[in-house]
Chains A and B, each alone.
Chain A
Amino acid sequence: MRRPTAIPMPEGSAAPAAGARPPRAFAPSDVAPVTPQVESYSEPPPAEAALPPPPRPRWLVRMLWTTAGLLVSLALGLALDALLANLFAASPWLGWAGLAVLALFLLAALALLVRELAALWRLRALDRLRARAAAILLDDNLDAAAAVLAELAALYAPRPDLARALARLEAGRPQLFDGAELLRFAERTLMAPLDARARALTALSARRVALVTAVSPRALVDIAYVVWESVRLGGAIARLYGARPGLWGAWRLLSAILGHLAVTGGLVLTDGVVEQLVGQGLAARLSQRLGEGVVNGLMTVRVGIAAMRVVRPLAFTTEPAPAVRDFLSDLAGALRPGETA
């Protein structure tokens, strides 16, 4: 171990000791001031096991679908080929026009495919982000938190409604020295306004479902409406948190939501049995149609909550997690005369 040495200016003249480096002083002109820098951070994909993976179809079933798809594609290709040949036989310019239309069709299909893949990728990126954030809350790694924050900022950068929140996030960042603190700050700043809007969307959907169920003439109509409204709500919440799911994305999202609902057995985790009973009791006290409306509304609320949990890029830590009881008053209000607007 060496004595503390003061080396005036010349940089690099003091060779650092093997283990501990001795104290040194520099003139500020020799020093490059650093702002906290975000290092590119990569982490092995965490073993995410919050939700059980959806059951995989068995290989026989997979082979059935694959071969069926192959056959349909072959038939389509053959039909197209025949169509083009017929067109060329009728008149050459008709054939060329057909070929051009086909090219445009393929181009559009390709573009759609790319968009869908991008949407799927975004959904998966949100999942990965959430898993990484959960790990940081435990190990308090500042660099990793900065990387997560940079990804969040990039995700929400095109959103005009979050400009102010992003500016606040940027302003508060230099004051924070711990990874976990940084993430909690990001949740308070970025997620809180989105949570409020997601709750409003859920409440609105639930009220609509309750109302439609109460006035609809046939049970089939309610069921169709509940399904449609659930899909719409899931998509709206996903778009709100920055997922922008396409067609397949929406399908995957819906299966994730349903999977979440199945895992929690219809009970959202933060809810007790009490709220469920309150819901039932409330329903029983009203007339049959109104009661069904409340039950369907509660179902929509659960879908909304599950969607929030599935697509939110940071898990609920500082903000209160949504619970069915938060929406009970909304539902009751929807069915009270005079408040239906």
Chain B
Amino acid sequence: MPQAPTTITDEIGIALHNLADAAAAPFTPTLRLGVTGLSRAGKTVFITALVHDLLTGGKLPGFGPLAEGRLISARLAESPDAGIPRFAYEQHLAALTGPAPFWPESTRRISELRLSLRFRSRGWLGAWSGPATLNLDIVDYPGEWLLDLPLLSLGFAEWSAQALARARRAGAPPEAAAFLAAAGSLDATAPASEPDAQRLAGTFTAYLRASRSDRHALSALPPGRFLMPGDLEGTPALTFAPLPPPSSTPRHSSLYAMLERRYEAYKDIVVRPFFRDHFARLDRQIVLVDTLRALNAGPAAVSDLESALTDILACFRQGDGSPLLRLVSRRIDRILFAATKADHVHRASHDRLEAILNRLVARAARRAKFAGATTSSVALAAVRATREGRAGDLDVIIGTPEAGEVLDGTTYDGSTEIALFPGDLPASPDAAFDAAAPIELRFLRFLPPRRLERNDEGEPLLPHIRLDRALDFLIGDRLK
């Protein structure tokens, strides 16, 4: 039986928080934007580009409030939560816009940022009340942690069955066999011993890490803290692994019972607070999906990405509640699904990229629509790393691949610019899931753009693809 993701106490806490926000709303309304995406989907770059473009009034012709001249200014405001580190916007921007630009390192801890937007409303009320303010709260976190959310509704036995089935399937890396052998050699009903648990957890972690490499690019790999442990490394809560169901009812002192306790502790200590504090109270959500990386690795990675996204998105509270109910229960009423890194394909392929994205999130989108949320999808690049060109009869993209990227035996050094034709995306999105007929595609990682344009104040302007449209969908209606 699926368990509820939160306890009664959590629910009361969430409702009280929402009430407090609702009380402050008439003065400065707050919009909590959930930037959702698995690791390497581009959350940090998206947030950095979004904040930078809003702060500098960058090139956002499709963002209504800015195009209509109603957005007066934006500034970084004091973070509302003193216990959470501030999003290192300045460092990330320096990385992207320096003389030798590089992508920000992968996120290792949670951080938060509040952006205050000052604007004039277009309605008749706006003419009386003058400029209004909207606070935009954005949270950045390691994408691996997101994988834990589906665990909230799974017991140890169910999770074990799922995890073992995943380890046994065809596309799994060789490390899975070592883990399965270790799990098979242990007697789950025998008395618990710490070395056994550590050995098992060690092989399990090695298998998870191997699955994540670019060659396999698998996504559904909970628990997420095994991949990005943070300061919990080595604690009992992170020393467990799935076990096959025991033949008899395990005793309290058995290995099975101990790992089950640790699994529940992991959920209580790690997952539930993360969910309660950051995901239970969102207004808008953008789901960043790195479709190209999964396409690079093949159909197994694509279908794995699909199931991971569907499971994760099921945990969010979506729907269009009544205004009265919204006082105590916040719901996500707009969801944007975004295929990131759209600059890695020519604009002629954007439609197909969007079609594949729609196919990937179809189940999640249907559920969100049923709940009453508005959804949309877009192929975007928060920072555009390439230009477009034409070689012969091929539409190519021109950029500098990262050092170490390989295509057909040529290893690039990170300073030569090349024109790449990455192959045709399939016309029918279902072809991406078809293991019988793999598609010929190869996407390289490109370095961030050099020699950026600058605006009148000398601030660099980050080129992008459809970031303005995404912004307009996500927050444009709250700036009307």
Contacts and interface: CB of A to CB of B under 8 A. Distances in A.
A16 B439 contact: no
Given A20-B426, A32-B389, A172-B61, A4 B396 contact: no
Nearest to A8: B410
B388 interface: yes
B128 to A, nearest CB: 13
Interface stretch (A155-163, A174-182, A268-276): A174-182
Interface of B: 59-62, 64, 67-68, 122, 347, 350, 387-394, 396, 398, 407-410, 417-424, 426, 437-442, 463-466, 468-469
Contact of A4 (B398, B423, B463): B423
B392 A23 contact: no
Interface of A: 1-6, 8, 11-12, 16, 19-28, 30-34, 142, 172-173, 175-178, 181, 184-185, 188-189, 192, 318, 320
B350 A177 contact: yes
22 contacts: A4-B423, A4-B441, A19-B424, A20-B423, A23-B423, A23-B440, A23-B442, A24-B396, A25-B420, A26-B396, A28-B417, A31-B390, A31-B396, A34-B388, A142-B347, A172-B59, A172-B67, A175-B468, A177-B465, A181-B466, A184-B62, A318-B68
A22 B423 contact: yes
Given A4-B442, A175-B468, A181-B62, A31 B391 contact: yes
A25 B440 contact: no
Given A11-B392, A28-B418, A21 B61 contact: no
A23 B409 contact: no
A142 B469 CA distance: 15
Contact of B390 (A32, A172, A188): A32
Nearest to B348: A142
A33 B398 contact: yes
Contact of A178 (B390, B407, B466): B466
B68 A188 contact: yes
A313 B132 CA distance: 33
* Main secondary structure on A side of the interface with B: loop
Given A24-B420, A184-B62, A6 B391 contact: no
Given A33-B398, A175-B61, A4 B347 contact: no
B347 A177 contact: yes
A24 B394 contact: yes
Contact of B440 (A22, A32, A33): A22
A73 B19 CA distance: 84
B389 to A, nearest CB: 4
Contact of B391 (A11, A172, A173, A184): A11
B396 to A, nearest CB: 6
A34 B419 contact: no
Nearest to B400: A28
Contact of B419 (A31, A175, A181, A189): A31
Give the 10 A-B CB pairs with smallest separation, nearest first.
A6-B408, A172-B61, A26-B419, A23-B423, A20-B424, A31-B389, A23-B442, A24-B421, A188-B67, A31-B419
Given A22-B423, A24-B394, 20 more contacts: A3-B440, A4-B408, A6-B407, A8-B410, A11-B392, A20-B426, A23-B420, A23-B422, A23-B440, A23-B441, A25-B421, A28-B389, A30-B391, A31-B419, A33-B398, A175-B463, A177-B350, A177-B466, A181-B61, A188-B64
A146 B61 CA distance: 15
A8 B393 CA distance: 16
A181 to B, nearest CB: 5
A30 B64 contact: no
- Which of B393, B418, B426, B437 has the most chain A CB atoms inside 10 A of its CB? B418
A21 B469 contact: no
Contacts of B392: 11-12
Contacts of B464: 175
Nearest to A21: B424
Contacts of A4: 407-408, 423, 440-442
Nearest to B67: A188
B465 to A, nearest CB: 6
A20 B439 contact: yes
The listed residue with most A CB atoms (<10 A of its CB), out of B407, B437, B438, B463, is: B407
A28 B407 contact: no
Contacts of A12: 392
A192 B68 contact: yes
A17 B386 CA distance: 25
